[in-house]
Structure 1
Amino acid sequence: MTTGFQPNEFEFASDDKGEFVKVMARGYQVLASPGINQGSAFSLETREALGLDGLLPSGVTTLEGQLKRVYGQYQAQPDALSKYLYLNATHDRNEVLYFALLTAHIEEMMPIVYTPTIGQAIQEYSHWYQRPRGVFLSIDDPGTMERSLKAMGDRPDDVDLIVVTDSEGILGIGDQGVGGVAITVGKLALYTAAAGIHPHRVMPVVLDTGTDNLELLNDDTYLGVRHARVRGKQYDDFIERFVTTAHRLYPHAMIHWEDFGAANATRILDKYRNDYCTFNDDIQGTAAVVAAAVMAAVKASGTPLAEQRIVIHGAGSAGIGIASLLRRVMVEEGMDADEARRHFWGLGSRGLLREGLTLRDFQGPWARPSADLKGWKLDTRGHYELADVVRNVRPTILIGSSAQAGAFTEDLVREMAEYCERPIIMPLSNPTRKAEAVPSDLIEWTDGRALIATGSPFEPVTHKGTSYRIAQANNALVFPGIGLGAIASGATRISEGMVAAASTALASTVDVHAKGAALLPRMSSLRSISARVALSVVEAAQNQDLATVKLGHNPVQAIYESMWKPRYPRVIPA
């Protein structure tokens, strides 16, 4: 099986002995190609065959020895951004070594290659920029799109996954222009480290449609196009050109949308989801991991999901995605669809979603009828804010995706704890400084009764002798497995049933009965979790007639064998 081709340099393939690489390059060209460079691990025989004599120290090192060296260098870096840049440099030098390092220390390094450090890296992209990685597509020159995508050197069957962003809604920090390419690279690194998606079968893409970030536009070093964001028909035509061109060139690739703005994310997903294999992690991935945490919390609380009252503070594309998936779970458990919808109250920038407000199309179905609000006690007449909703609804589940730091106040949480034995509270906003509350406060205010999941990582909290491990509702727990399942099954599209299957599989991996137990598993077990999620996704795709590949009589073995492992391949000089 061919797994990528770089003209005149190397070609990867596999046989019954495993992966091998035919190397046409010689000398420094080999060492300059991160996809084939093994550095000091090249054997003496291979060095001679590839013209590397004299270009490396005499000693031959194993991959394990290299890992020990680079991990020590990583730990010596003075701060998080320096560690990010060190990992980037390793990636640019030796791809297998980079992924071996990341896989071996995934829990420690995820906050570096992903949230929260990636946010700082994106903001400063034009300042630390060194070696380009990804495809840059400019709205000012759409005619070069096909040529730009082909410049990666991939053939139609060589690409399994494309992660694409327009950088408008980056990780709670908003419009970051062309720097958003770093989030696509980071996401793909996790697809590889967590789910074994082959690093030569993926493509990071940034759609440079301008930026409304005046700080970037006035920065002499900024690398993107220098004008305000293009919107309207020209933007939509650009998106359409990208989808159709990418699908025509790489017909089997899943398209993963990342960090699009609220005005575009849901409508782009809705437009293409039924015709292409496409997935929005901010909507569907967030929904899946949060729904899994909710299902685990509901199990721990002893109160069925059908009896929960759910308030979502921050009912944008991600918040509504969470509501939609939880509603689907309720329906699958036997509840009427309309009745299930009545268990949700969403708040946007102007308070409770309700009749009479101007709402986005995807928010409309979740607006509360005026009749539901009769008799409500309000702090200010005509205003339905979070405190009003909590007072009148008496929610048992409170989810925050608002990016409003401290929105879950002590008074609000204590009020919730008065009528709810096990309040489920999830301040999900990133980065940490925008979280609606911090776990230590939530545990103190509820005397250790709150069931908590957060968006950012937090250290365990000790309260009255019990250590509470805080679940991080990190999308990395689901999106790699969804991608692996879609690729392994040859799925023609990503259905809500496949996303729900991923969520249920994740929820099944935790035991929530021990006091202080987290609602979600640790990141250190990410690779096995991704495999379990992938198996459930494959099964759902098959049940819905969306799979084009059969995994045979032993799907567990098939998934395991399909996961690329960061090991040096056999080298065949050509």
Structure 2
Amino acid sequence: METQLKDLRINGSPSVLDQDPSHTVGGGVRDVYGEDSATEDHLVTPWSRNVACGMELMRDPQYNKGLAFSDKERENHYLLGLLPPAHLTQDLQVQKVMQNVRSYADPLQQYIAVMGLQERNERLFYKVLIDHVEELLPVVYTPTVGEACQKYGAIFQRPHGLYISLKERGKILDCLKNWPEKLVQVIVVTDGERILGLGDLGCQGMGIPVGKLALYTALGGIRASGCLPITIDVGTNNEKLLKDPFYIGLRQRRATGKEYSDLLHEFMSAVKQAYGEKVLIQFEDFANHNAFTLLAKYQTTHLVFNDDIQGTAVVALGGLLAALKVTGGTLADHTFLFLGAGEAGTGIGEMIALEITKQTGMSLESARKKIWLVDSKGLVVKSRWETLQHFKRNFAHKHEGCKDLLSAVQALKPTILIGTSGQGKTFTKEVVETFTSYNEKPVIFALSNPTSQSECTAEEAYHWSKGKTIFASGSPFDPVTYKGKTFVPGQGNNAYIFPGIGHGVIISGAIRMHDDMLLAAARALADQVTKEHLDQGLIYPPFKNIRKISAKIAAAVADKAYDLGLATRLPKPAELLSYAESCMYSPTYRQYR
């Protein structure tokens, strides 16, 4: 160990730097001041130590503990004099970080402060996030991450994850090999074409995979070193970004067709070659035309999951199953009307239909007839079949056309209204009042993100429905008081679901994602909503318990993977829940020898 910790030696002998502080660099330039004065014509090799110590240790976010290093650790790891003499426990460091974060009024500044901590002290970052998850979730995830992506070029300081662009065609496996961690368990990948409800942000969409994987670790307990965020940069059609001097991506319009599909296929093949069958690949914020194609193409050959199609669907289904405890009846008793017929809307619709078939035994085609969609051209009906995108056709039923949402509500008299349009203020007062007039216990889900894109606010939903509605949103809203009663709006946040699903497939060693595993996750989420929660207006369990929630979801997903024969970690643990909890990453500091 002592030999390893000594300063760098080349071929076991002292380097020229040790022998002469005024040596010549590159064979000609005398380094009088002891600095590296190499130029392009005088190259040096970037050597590093075998075991991190001294300043190198403090600059390594995976091992840095700041003022929490003990006296013994400071002496053993060459830190004497490099730190002030004070010692702070990790809990005190958490208090200090939160005090600093709260001092910023601007959420984007809070985001920069929190994510900057991840670059300096990884375990402290996750400790802060876990201990203050309800307060910090809107900072590191929706809605603030949307603004962060829009301004990613301006706030960019150092790279996170891998950036794979068209320039790396034929070399993607080499890119993956450059990633320092070899035991990757979860990859979140985006091409940045449809970031939240904000559209094409190109390479700056990297904020989404980075944020998602932070939650995989903090909420799902997946070790941070096993998480890899990736952006596939095929250009952008966002003219503002193409003209932005700080834009960090390729300055060209998006590649499409064969050029695009060939690059993605090379990527998927390289991932399997580098990390094997059991790495979970989560597609994130791809545009509709690519998202459905990629999921259909690779779900039989890879362990893949699309959070926009499947994750949103599972969390929405979980909320609906919990809402049934208030409305009564089964899913098959309800009529569902969606505003928005893209990835989220059709994904939720398919998940609801699947669950109806499991509950009733009816055919999938019959179950789909309970579900109606409204897109930008009005109600999706059979007469529009030829002009519909393929993913909408399953929900094109025989009915007279309706030009807008209000006329669809009046014609269909739905019992559940769900917004996935990405268009704010579209659940108008007239729509909500008309919808609730038909229902004693109406259900409204305004799921679009970020907050500005939400179909309506919690306050609008409760007031316009005269306090009758069961409400959930995609973005967070404060509690609302109406006629003396306080309602706590549920947040149908995908963070309830994807960390637990990821943990479940990892602990079971699943090699494919099956729809029944997703249904199991939705039921596990709904099962954790108690009468006490429902009395407050909540149809999702409190987020402060998210680690326990994720563990129960993971156990349910793993159990179904074993039942389906998709699990490879054998034998199956006797107690999956306790096993899931025992496998969760802990951010507490470790002692160094």
> Structure 2 length as normaliser, TM-score?
0.89
Structure 1 residue 512 displacement after superposition: 4.5
Q: Which residue of 2 aligns with 1:366?
A: 395
Q: Which residue of 1 aligns with 2:587?
A: 566
Q: Which residue of 2 aligns with 1:499?
A: 518
Structure 1 residue 356 displacement after superposition: 3.8
How many percent identity over aligned positions?
38
Q: Which residue of 1 aligns with 2:196?
A: 171
Q: Which residue of 1 aligns with 2:440?
A: 421
Q: Which residue of 1 aligns with 2:254?
A: 229
Among 84, 89, 102, the alignment partner of 2:129 is 102
Q: Which residue of 1 aligns with 2:542?
A: 522
Q: Deviations over 1:57-76 (max 9, x none)?
A: 11222111211221211111
- Contact 2:186-2:227 within 8 A present in 1 as well: yes
SS in 1 for 2:170: helix
Q: Which residue of 1 aligns with 2:456?
A: 437
- Contact 2:153-2:248 within 8 A present in 1 as well: yes
- Contact 1:511-1:517 within 8 A present in 2 as well: no
Q: Deviations over 1:1-33 (max 9, x none)?
A: xxxxxxx9xxxxxxxxxxxxx970221111111
1:95-134 equivalences under 5 Å are 95-134=122-161
SS in 1 for 2:341: coil
1:208 aligns with 2:227: no
- Contact 1:162-1:205 within 8 A present in 2 as well: yes
SS in 2 for 1:164: strand
Q: Distance in 2 between matches of 1:404 and 1:118?
A: 18
Q: Distance in 1 between matches of 2:68 and 2:535?
A: 47
Q: Which amino acid aligns with 1:168?
A: E
- Contact 1:498-1:541 within 8 A present in 2 as well: yes
Q: Which amino acid aligns with 1:63?
A: Q
- Contact 2:170-2:266 within 8 A present in 1 as well: no
Structure 1 residue 418 displacement after superposition: 1.9
1:273 aligns with 2:299: yes
Q: Distance in 1 between matches of 2:573 and 2:424?
A: 50
Q: Which amino acid aligns with 2:287?
A: G
- Contact 1:510-1:521 within 8 A present in 2 as well: yes
1:296 aligns with 2:317: no
Among 564, 568, 573, the alignment partner of 1:548 is 568
Q: Which residue of 2 aligns with 1:41?
A: 68
SS in 2 for 1:147: helix
Q: Which amino acid aligns with 2:244?
A: D
Structure 1 residue 398 displacement after superposition: 0.5
SS in 1 for 2:471: strand
- Contact 1:276-1:493 within 8 A present in 2 as well: yes
Q: Which amino acid aligns with 1:261?
A: A
Q: Deviations over 1:484-513 (max 9, x none)?
A: 001010001111111111001001111257
1:340 aligns with 2:367: yes
Q: Which residue of 2 aligns with 1:143?
A: 170
Structure 1 residue 220 displacement after superposition: 1.0
1:353 aligns with 2:380: yes
Stretch moving more, 383-392 or 444-453: 383-392
SS in 1 for 2:459: helix
Q: Which amino acid aligns with 1:429?
A: S
Structure 1 residue 200 displacement after superposition: 0.7
- Contact 2:470-2:537 within 8 A present in 1 as well: no
Change (3 A) 1:410 1:301: same
Rg larger in 1 or in 2?
2
Q: Which residue of 1 aligns with 2:114?
A: 87
Q: Which residue of 2 aligns with 1:262?
A: 288
Stretch moving more, 54-63 or 352-361: 352-361
1:287 aligns with 2:313: yes
Unaligned runs of 5+ in 1: 1-7, 9-21, 374-381
SS in 2 for 1:233: helix
Among 71, 79, 82, the alignment partner of 1:55 is 82
Q: Distance in 1 between matches of 2:383 and 2:259?
A: 31
Q: Distance in 2 between matches of 1:88 and 1:439?
A: 29
Q: Which amino acid aligns with 2:454?
A: A
Unaligned runs of 5+ in 2: 1-7, 9-48
SS in 1 for 2:60: coil
- Contact 1:35-1:94 within 8 A present in 2 as well: yes
Q: Distance in 2 between matches of 1:161 and 1:528?
A: 20
Q: Distance in 2 between matches of 1:433 and 1:89?
A: 26
Q: Which amino acid aligns with 2:107?
A: A
SS in 2 for 1:256: strand
Q: Which residue of 2 aligns with 1:220?
A: 245
Q: Distance in 2 between matches of 1:455 and 1:53?
A: 49
1:446 aligns with 2:465: yes
SS in 1 for 2:188: strand
Structure 1 residue 116 displacement after superposition: 0.4
Q: Deviations over 1:236-293 (max 9, x none)?
A: 1111111110111001211011111111111111111121111011111100010111
Q: Which amino acid aligns with 1:241?
A: E
Q: Deviations over 1:330-385 (max 9, x none)?
A: 1111141222111011122221222243122211121113xx33xxxxxxxx6532
Q: Deviations over 1:405-428 (max 9, x none)?
A: 222122222222222101111111
RMSD: 1.5
Among 300, 308, 329, the alignment partner of 2:334 is 308
- Contact 1:512-1:519 within 8 A present in 2 as well: no
SS in 2 for 1:163: strand
Among 485, 488, 494, the alignment partner of 1:475 is 494
